[in-house]
Structure 1
Amino acid sequence: MAEAERIIGTPEVGDEAQPEPEAPRGRRRIAALLVVAAIAYLLDLGTKMVVVAELEHQPPIRIIGDLLRFEAVRNPGAAFGFGEAFTILFTVIAASVIVVIVRLARKLYSLPWAIALGLLLGGALGNLTDRIFRSPGVFRGAVVDFIAPAHFAVFNLADTAIVCGGILIVLLSFRGLDPDGTVHKD
């Protein structure tokens, strides 16, 4: 009888074994999100510090012939330089994205979603840091971009993290995987 109760999950009286709660699994996913976000943020911040110190006001550095170069550019707008007059709006949007990710993290039980949201969070924090602390002033700061592929916009590691996180979210959504770990078979 004890074996049957163990299989169906009915604990015996005085049985010390308790089912493992879901909270530790959720905490591990939140920890994964925070680790990914911290790595993305610190890599972005570190590269921008090097670019400002060593590359700003210098000629571009060719990495792969004419295909790729590093060139310091200050971007007050959004991706591709659009919306230069809306720097404050982009700051508010980035702050809102961060709040949404933090709120969503409470219901996070999927490691792939933790990685995707961590990339978004780290990238948003990286560009938000520039908008708050870089010239010309608080909430009007220009983002430091430096990766310049031929025939494409100049971007930074925060932008890369945001794009990779967004692509991962689209793929997870197509597969029917929700942040809480449930899978939808449509």
Structure 2
Amino acid sequence: MNPSPHLRPGLIALAATFAVDQAFKVFMLQVVGITTGQVITVAPVLDLVMAWNYGVSFGLFQQDSVLGQWALVLFKVGAVALIGWWLWRAESTLTAVALGLIAGGAIGNGLDRVVYGAVADFFAFHITTATWQFQWYVFNLADVGIVAGVGLLLYDSLFGGRPDASKSA
């Protein structure tokens, strides 16, 4: 089967997401030298915090053992393979870009898991008032790519439309 004509934008999104995520992580770990638990305040609602995630999204399924970490790597390889197959067959540029964002983020987090044994997370949004406090999960740019990709897929499925959709009965 020939690749989708939309493959190129998806691969560009994948490469860009991966590159930006990894460059930021290298910058924070090697240039800034941020250490686990260290907090760098960027704005009243944003801190950079070095946190290692040994699980999956939102810290679920924490895996401290080497076997558990490699099981997560293998799961991620399977997920990226399925996303790659879908990208190969993408029916729109929006779908291809969305899948590229998801795959680029997954590969970035997967590389962290292989190199460091955990995923490096940095961004911590929070709001504190005199009577209320909110703190979001600590995340990284790969996670931003994944969430943006999922959001684009949802948008495309709800509002994107297909040129041949009216022909199906």
Shared fold, TM over 0.5? yes
Which amino acid counterpart does residue 22 of structure 2 have in structure 1? L
Partners of 1:47 and 1:109 in 2: CA distance: 32
Match of 1:146, SS state, is strand
- Counterpart pick for 1:51 among 21, 25, 28: 28
Matched positions, count: 153
Match of 2:114, SS state, is helix
Instruction: Report the equivalent of 1:173.
Output: 157
Instruction: Report the equivalent of 1:20.
Output: none
Partners of 1:63 and 1:149 in 2: CA distance: 10
The TM-score with structure 2 as length reference comes to: 0.80
- Using the TM superposition, give the Cα deviation of residue 182 of structure 1 relative to its aligned residue in structure 2, in angstroms: 4.6
- Backbone CA RMSD of aligned residues: 2.3
Match of 2:124, SS state, is strand
Output one character per residue of 1:93-147: Cα deviation in whole Å (capped at 9) or x when no partner: 221121012212332231100110110111011001011121xxxxxx1000000
Superposition map of 1:26-37 within 5 A = 26-27=4-5, 29-37=6-14
Instruction: Report the equivalent of 1:124.
Output: 106
Instruction: Report the equivalent of 1:64.
Output: 43
Instruction: Report the equivalent of 2:56.
Output: 78
Identity of aligned residues (%): 28
Structure 2, unaligned stretches of length 5 or more? 127-134
Partners of 1:163 and 1:182 in 2: CA distance: 28
Instruction: Report the equivalent of 1:100.
Output: 82
Aligned in 2, Cα 1:72/1:32: closer, same or farther, shift over 3 Å? Answer: same
Match of 2:52, SS state, is strand
Aligned in 2, Cα 1:148/1:182: closer, same or farther, shift over 3 Å? Answer: farther
Would you say the 8 A contact 2:18–2:107 is kept in 1?
A: yes
Aligned in 2, Cα 1:182/1:120: closer, same or farther, shift over 3 Å? Answer: farther
- The structure carrying a bigger strand percent of its residues is 2
Would you say the 8 A contact 1:176–1:183 is kept in 2?
A: no
Which amino acid counterpart does residue 110 of structure 1 have in structure 2? S
Partners of 2:20 and 2:62 in 1: CA distance: 25
- Using the TM superposition, give the Cα deviation of residue 176 of structure 1 relative to its aligned residue in structure 2, in angstroms: 5.8
Structure 1, unaligned stretches of length 5 or more? 1-22, 135-140
- Using the TM superposition, give the Cα deviation of residue 70 of structure 1 relative to its aligned residue in structure 2, in angstroms: 0.6
Output one character per residue of 1:48-76: Cα deviation in whole Å (capped at 9) or x when no partner: 101112142273111112x1101111111
Runs of 4 or more, structure 1, over 4 Å off, are none
The TM-score with structure 1 as length reference comes to: 0.74
